């Protein structure tokens, strides 16, 4: 009898162990995925609503393209009001209050990219899957670099070769291990990591992505150009802008390529200029704001952008020129930006006529065809001033102006920001420490990383 019971116990344990193993092989939550192949990794990178639709907009909200009326400012929450007047602290809603804050959103994308890179390193690359393998790995490097670059523009000072090794960079998380403590790198280490990731993406990505919510080689070139431009390394920025244009160079002609100029949002979403599609998680400062009056008045009446980009709302000018074809600003990469970057970098190295060639190729598509005159000058300073002026007018609400102000003030452009709220004037002086926004306070308390100096 004892022998029978023993065999029954052994059998029962065997069955329980087998069932337990099967249970452990099944996710406890049906929304969870056990990563087992390249398709699983690609799925992580195709979550466009969590990757392409959440670009941070704190820089654009802090810049000088828009303003708020007193009533609009008063209607905002505490953190949005603080951001608008460049307060010392409490400018980003804490994660403990709103889990979708932009610090967390950026690091969620970085975590996703790190997860892909961790798992793909443990998968076999074969002749059959090599293209897919490289593409997925390249996308992960691209997204990690893009997120860190956007964060550096918001939470770090402008890159300066004389202080790059002492200025604060970002916490560089390069693995999915959330137990690793966070510490801030130097600004040089942050930008070195961004460049390394983008260069790896260039090497791995296909020339053309199957859809513009995925990056291809042209997008990686374009973001490298953005990165170097923000570092004021104009030779490299120009070279990579040109590399992007070698793959994507098409421009819309505002004379003929706007299907319905009278539409609320007349510019098509995935138009010919879009290289990589992304849009902003729009701050309330922008949603309730109006276009800067001086900026609006700088557009000539024969400049088709004046009609295409703006509409009247209760006597104010509101931006409607997003390549997202709605009120949410487009923040991806487009060829118009690359033409302007190439023109700026060419004129800075002394190639004025070549710079104006790139500049005029863009401007003829923005001007009334019966009134356009080619810009001609021999003066590098005049050409640069004109190119920078048109850069602001072409790329407003793309989340690039904040970076431009920071880099140009490093070159003594003396751009002073000023806002009036309830008869009180707030100013932000060139190279002020507050050009690096305060990191959310609860992030500081949880991680003990260094807060940006005020």
Region 77-102 average pLDDT: 91
Q: What is the pLDDT of residue 96?
A: 76
- pLDDT by residue (tens digit) across 388-415? 999 999 999 999 999 999 999 999 999 9
Strand bridging mode 424-428 / 310-313: unpaired
CB within 8 Å of 253: residues ≥ 6 apart: 365
pLDDT band for position 5 (50/70/90)?
Answer: very low
Mean pLDDT of the chain: 92
Only one residue has tokens 């009334």, namely 368
Note the CATH number of domain 42-291+300-318+330-447: 1.25.40.390
Q: Where are the domains of the chain?
A: 42-291+300-318+330-447
Region 435-446 average pLDDT: 95
pLDDT band for position 209 (50/70/90)?
Answer: very high
Buried b (16+ CB within 10 A) or exposed e, 255-266: eeebeeeeeebb
- pLDDT by residue (tens digit) across 98-113? 777 999 999 999 999 9
pTM of the model: 0.92
Give CA torsion, residues 320, 324, 326, 328, to 10 deg: -90
Buried b (16+ CB within 10 A) or exposed e, 346-376: bbbeebbeebbebbbebbbbbbeeeebeeee
Only one residue has tokens 């950026």, namely 106
Q: What is the pLDDT of residue 99?
A: 72
Q: What's the CA gap between 345 and 343, in Å, rounded?
A: 6
Q: What is the pLDDT of residue 21?
A: 36
Question: How is 339-396 classified by DSSP, letter by letter?
Answer: HHHHHHHHHHTT-HHHHHHHHHHHHTTTB-TTT------S-HHHHHHHHHHHHHHHST
- pLDDT by residue (tens digit) across 109-163? 999 999 999 999 999 999 999 999 999 999 999 999 999 999 999 999 999 999 9
Percent share of the chain, pLDDT over 70: 93
- pLDDT by residue (tens digit) across 180-191? 999 999 999 999
- pLDDT by residue (tens digit) across 264-314? 999 999 999 999 999 999 999 999 999 999 999 999 999 999 999 999 998
Instruction: Give the DSSP H or E segment for 6.
Output: helix 2-24
Nearest to 73 by CA among 283, 280, 284: 284
Question: How is 84-152 classified by DSSP, letter by letter?
Answer: HTT-SS--S--TTT-TT-HHHHHHHHHHHHHHHHHHHTTS---TTTHHHHHHHHHHHHHHHHHHHHHHH
């Amino acid at each position: 009898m004892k022998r029978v019971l023993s065999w029954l116990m052994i059998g029962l344990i065997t069955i329980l162990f087998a069932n337990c193993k099967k249970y452990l092989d099944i996710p406890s939550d049906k929304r969870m995925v056990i990563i087992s192949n390249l398709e699983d990794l690609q799925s992580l990178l195709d979550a466009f609503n969590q990757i392409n639709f959440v670009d941070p907009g704190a820089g654009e909200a802090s810049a000088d393209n828009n303003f708020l009326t007193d009533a609009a400012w008063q209607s905002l929450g505490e953190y949005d009001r603080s951001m608008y007047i460049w307060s010392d602290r409490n400018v980003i809603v804490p994660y403990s209050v709103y889990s979708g804050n932009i610090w967390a959103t950026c690091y969620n994308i970085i975590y996703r990219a790190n997860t892909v890179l961790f798992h793909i390193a443990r998968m076999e690359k074969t002749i059959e899957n090599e293209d897919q393998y490289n593409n997925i790995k390249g996308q992960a490097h691209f997204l990690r670099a893009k997120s860190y670059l956007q964060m550096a523009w918001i939470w770090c000072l402008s890159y300066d070769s004389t202080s790059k090794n002492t200025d604060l960079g970002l916490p560089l998380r390069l693995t999915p291990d959330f137990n690793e403590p966070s510490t801030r790198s130097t600004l040089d280490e942050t930008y070195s990591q961004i460049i390394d990731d983008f260069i790896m993406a260039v090497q791995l990505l296909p020339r053309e992505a199957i859809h513009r919510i995925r990056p291809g080689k042209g997008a990686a070139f374009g973001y490298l150009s953005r990165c170097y431009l923000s570092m004021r390394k104009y030779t490299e920025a120009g070279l990579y802008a040109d590399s992007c244009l070698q793959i994507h160079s098409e421009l819309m002609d505002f004379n003929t390529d706007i299907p319905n100029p009278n539409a609320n949002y007349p510019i098509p979403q995935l138009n010919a200029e879009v290289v990589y599609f992304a849009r902003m998680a729009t701050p309330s400062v922008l949603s309730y704001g109006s276009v800067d009056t001086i900026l609006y008045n700088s557009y000539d009446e024969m400049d088709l952008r004046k009609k295409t980009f703006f509409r009247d709302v209760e006597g104010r000018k509101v931006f409607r020129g997003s390549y997202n074809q709605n009120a949410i600003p487009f923040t991806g990469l487009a060829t118009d930006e690359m033409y302007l970057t190439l023109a700026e970098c060419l004129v800075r190295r002394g190639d004025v006529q070549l710079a104006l060639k790139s500049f005029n190729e863009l401007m003829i598509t923005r001007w009334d065809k019966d009134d356009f005159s080619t810009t001609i000058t021999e003066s590098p300073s005049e050409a640069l001033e004109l190119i920078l002026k048109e850069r602001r007018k072409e790329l407003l609400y793309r989340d690039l102006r904040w970076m431009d102000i920071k880099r140009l003030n490093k070159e003594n452009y003396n751009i002073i920001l000023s806002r009036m709220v309830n008869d009180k004037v707030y100013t932000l002086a060139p190279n002020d420490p507050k050009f690096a926004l305060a990191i959310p306070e609860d992030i500081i308390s949880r991680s003990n990383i260094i807060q940006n100096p005020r």
